[in-house]
Structure 1
């Protein structure tokens, strides 16, 4: 019962956040020229999937700059998930799944769902393990990168400003890992069950399939409910943008 109540509180905070930032956005409509906070935590929401309350379900939680000395901004991380734009000379609206684990996991699930293993034999492999020309591999993987871009860019998302020094012990890392742990259904009572057609059911990762999130790290952790208090303060400090 405590987890269900904490989950409800998390979604209440996200509803407040949505009001404060003037609604969700989709990456397909975003650019780096928008007024992004330097650092923060973001949540993607699954289109067409709602909780019993009618709120859209969280499908991924993320942050950035959790290594000491990192200068990665919030938009830098979102841009990695977005991929390439229409001005990319070689691969417009593609992307680099080796720079975005989110893109990698979505692509894996598409491969599994549609049986595309022979078409994308190197998907997710590190460059150091691939004994082929990189240009050839990128060209081969481009159609799937486009499909991944289409999928991710259609997902509404929210962001909360939370600016502290990059560190594994940062407040952003604290909020991210505990939000994932709370939302995850791994080894927990299933809350907000995912519909049969959720793409993540085809993931190679047991944690993704069981958690109902496009996350792997922290899906098997116990959560610290104090993160909700920290998130509440961050939401209150995030103004309309």
Structure 2
């Protein structure tokens, strides 16, 4: 039986690569995003405002109903803002934390009853290297991704006895449209030099690890925050 997968933020960037990886494996994939995928790659598309908890629960419920259940949840939706600590407003903080952290909690809560009843399931939350490395110039983003790692560990501890695994992936520098307006060619060269592999990540790097964690091969991993950073972070 093919996996039934929900991917938030699956319309572009890393999320789209994750969707393609699952589809290549024969999964049925529901994409939850504010805009439809550019390509007709998703099995199901559900428009959602992840800053609205009620709409988020509605969208997850619709996806589960359409798929006939859910085996995998991948939380990939996220927003980024570059700002010094002294310049982060309360509105900035709320916007980043609402999408990156609170929506992760809400989607986990929405799928958990289905997975717990089935006594099986895998949740993979896309965090960030910033959750471990710190957040100079992006404190609210780093805080939101550290919260994602904490939620991951809490879910792993509470739901493991029901056969549900919960893991996080912490990508490093991956060139996508998010953050494109804040980086230069010099930035890209400097970031590449931080990796022992001498390159930045591509969305497929993250997609491969995500797929592994949701597969039977990754079934004995839970509560982990796995770095996909080309060696920039090694703990």
On whether the aligned pair clears a TM of 0.5, the verdict is no
Q: Higher helix proportion, which one? A: 2
Higher relative contact order (CA 8 A, sep 6+): 1
Structure number having the greater strand percentage = 2
What is the TM-score when the length of structure 2 is the normalising length? 0.28
